[in-house]
Amino acid sequence: MSWEEFLSRVHQEPDTGIYIANGDESFTDLKQLREFFEERIQQRPVDEARSGLAVMLRNGTRARWSDAEKFNLTYCVSTTFGSRHGTVVAAMADAARAWSSAAGVGFVHRAEFDGNCNAAQNGVLFDVRPVSGGAYLARAFFPGDARASRNVLIDGTAFTSSTPNLTLTGILRHELGHTLGFRHEHTRPQAGTCLEDNNWEALTGYDSGSVMHYPQCNGTGNWSLVLTALDIQGAQALYGLPLGAYLTGDWNGDGRDNLAVRRNHCVSMDTNFDGTADIQQCYGNGDSDHYLVGDWNGDGRGNLAVRRGHCVYMDTNFDGAPEIQQCFGNGDSDHYLVGDWDGDGRDNLAVRRGLCVYMDTNFDGAPEIQQCYGNGDSDHYLVGDWDGDGRDNLAVRRGLCVYMDTNFDGAPEIQQCFGNGDSDHYLVGDWNGDGRDNLAVRRGQCVSMDTNFDGISEIRQCFQ
């Protein structure tokens, strides 16, 4: 293919000047586009042996967010979407949740910047804006792009497509895959068509049903654009296990909380800090479920529960079947928490909406306690019995500091700074059996546990 022929197939955005090739992949200027053509199109070597979910390469290095960045991928959603703003906010949240449930990444909507959400907004990592006549449904960017190019642009046709099974959420699942560094799956030789370039590295076996594979390019997907098992495997190969894969609970009723790791629908539980699994339980449907832990029947042991929509299915005896079912809250649009809110020895559900938390205490599906605390979505909410009074309370983390309420008054009585902030995964547990919950931070497969609020780790455990 000649340069002129290639250029004739490329769309240039009139407002940004950015070039769009391969359907929805962006190039900042003509020089970058020409370099891409000369290195990856004109001289493209076809390597039949390569396969798998593919990550973008820049100068031979994987394009990915660093461990310090990957859990704080902030974005705004422009209010210039008008009446569609709420639709985009919800679709972005759903698409982001799909990736954060699959691997060790986290997207954070900074709604305070929505009113001034553009390419010059440095309060966020990227902006989500409308575009008209974009020659695509939506387009995104790759890690390492300059701030001016870090946009997710959504054309009006994305809201009105007549393609069966194609939704805005599905489109954004695909685009957020690009923002994490993933290339189109159909750039593989195995696809047999729509080949783009060789600027990728395989992470898994070839997947014609991948969320990153255009169905019209010999794909087997039905345009629902959902993550497949291989997509999840590849995302974990690049970014590690999702935050929800590590759980804490008192699995044997000895008064001390221990770690557990979930892989798909099976959970391996440690009970004695030796780094090996003493209990294994398979429960639920795996990555499509939201896993929770609580002492649902007051027997002193933590058990699993899975949430599907607004209903939660609770196991109480490690038999892999739910003994309690409770429907509470609004499902995926709520943030679900677990705690013993009234000190009766049984854990119950709560849902957070913004900065207000609605707590059930008797499994009736209605909130008996309401508490507004913190700043809402910009805070990371935790639950623990911080003072040993038998009742769990809220805490909010901002950076490396955690502000703990102990009496439901909406003000923090305890402040503790621990760990490195957003690059760490924060856990809560009673690590030494003293009746008070403390913080822990996970880095990779190792967890550093504080037991006395001094901000220093007294216990360190590696478990995977």
Which residue has better confidence, 185 or 18? 18
- Please list, in sequence order, all residues whose beta carbon lies within 8 angstroms of the beta carbon of residue 281, skipping any fewer than 6 positions away: 266, 267, 269, 304, 315, 318, 320
- Summarize pLDDT for 281-340 with one digit per residue, the tens: 999 998 778 999 999 999 999 999 999 999 999 999 999 999 999 999 999 889 999 999
- Per mean pLDDT, which range of 101-110, 177-186, 284-293, 331-340 is the poorest? 177-186
Structure tokens at 45: 């070597």
Whole-angstrom distance, CA of residue 464 vs CA of residue 453? 26
Intervals of CATH 2.120.10 along the chain: 243-462
Half-sphere exposure of 31 (CA within 13 A, CB side): 0
Confidence band (pLDDT; 50, 70, 90) for 229?
confident
Structure tokens at 460: 């360190």
Residue 233 pLDDT > 50: yes
> Which residue's entry shows tokens 């994987």?
62
Intervals of CATH 3.40.390.10 along the chain: 46-239
Q: Are strands 311-314 and 246-249 parallel, antiparallel or unpaired?
A: unpaired
Side chain identity at residue 186, one-letter code: H
Q: Are 73 and 106 in contact (CB under 8 A)?
A: yes
- How much is the pLDDT for 444? 78
CATH hierarchy code of domain 243-462: 2.120.10
CATH hierarchy code of domain 46-239: 3.40.390.10
Region 342-347: mean pLDDT is 98
Looking at the DSSP assignment, which residues form a beta bridge with residue 338?
A: 349
Confidence band (pLDDT; 50, 70, 90) for 217?
confident
Percent of the chain at pLDDT above 90?
Answer: 58
Phi-psi region of 400 (alpha: psi -120 to 50; beta: other; left: phi over 0): alpha
Residue 437 pLDDT > 60: yes
Whole-angstrom distance, CA of residue 233 vs CA of residue 420? 27
- How much is the pLDDT for 458? 96
Half-sphere exposure of 260 (CA within 13 A, CB side): 28
Whole-angstrom distance, CA of residue 463 vs CA of residue 263? 13
Confidence band (pLDDT; 50, 70, 90) for 209?
confident
- Please list, in sequence order, all residues whose beta carbon lies within 8 angstroms of the beta carbon of residue 162, skipping any fewer than 6 positions away: none
- How much is the pLDDT for 394? 98
For all residues of the chain together, what is the average pLDDT? 87
Question: For the whole prediction, is pTM greater than 0.75?
Answer: no
- Please list, in sequence order, all residues whose beta carbon lies within 8 angstroms of the beta carbon of residue 31, skipping any fewer than 6 positions away: none
- Nearest in space to 464 (alpha carbons), one of 204, 240, 286: 240
Region 417-427: mean pLDDT is 88
